Amino acid sequence: MRNIKINQNGICEEAIYIASPNVDARPNEKDISLIVIHNISLPPNQYEGDGVIKLFTNQLKPDDHPYYAEISHLRVSSHFFIRRNGELIQFASCNNRAWHAGVSNWQGRDKCNDFSIGIELEGSDFEAFETLQYETLQTLIKSIKKRYPIQQITGHSEIAPGRKTDPGPYFDWSLIKT
């Protein structure tokens, strides 16, 4: 994706939009200052399926995979999901609060969902991400920063240490230009 634009409604017109019910209003819609990068794959370490979409839209069936029985009750979402081939999916307007960070703290501020945009990369802690993912991510970050006063970019592991490990040891931070 060479050209990505976030419109006034917080929607990326170049993304596939699949609305998640797991969003709500931000306490202060002008306070969007952090990007949080995650990784996810459902079932774990398997790619290209619809597990992530089903999780973020509350359609994950516990009988479809043993791991799903453990997580199908969760009500979570993210603003964006970048597949291994670079495809971009959006689940929530950037103007709204997606439920991606959970119990979290960034530089003394709790509840990172309130002031962050969550970006999930299809992947795991156990292998490298694809070049196309980094290209889409970098373009998306530039677009987000044009629209919102982003001050920092961090990983889920940094806002929920001890609880989360993503984006993981194979995420190459040097490929992200801030």
What pTM, to 2 d.p., does this model score?
0.97
pLDDT at 43 (0 to 100): 97
Q: In the structure encoding, which two tokens stand for residue 112, read together?
A: 């990172």
Question: How far is it, in rounded angstroms, from Cα 84 to Cα 48?
Answer: 8
127 classed as catalytic: no
**Which residue matches tokens 């509350």?**
58
Give the active site residue among 29, 48, 70, 120. Answer: 120
Parse the chain into domains and list their residue ranges: 16-175
Encoded amino acid at 30, one letter = K
Each of the 178 residues of the chain gets a pLDDT tens digit; together they read 578 999 999 999 999 999 999 999 999 989 999 999 999 999 999 999 999 999 999 999 999 999 999 999 999 999 999 999 999 999 999 999 999 999 999 999 999 999 999 999 999 999 999 999 999 999 999 999 999 999 999 999 999 999 999 999 999 999 997 6
pLDDT at 1 (0 to 100): 57
Write the CA distances from 70 to 16, 55, 63, 172, integer angstroms: 28, 12, 10, 30
Q: Please give the CATH number for the structural domain made up of 16-175.
A: 3.40.80.10
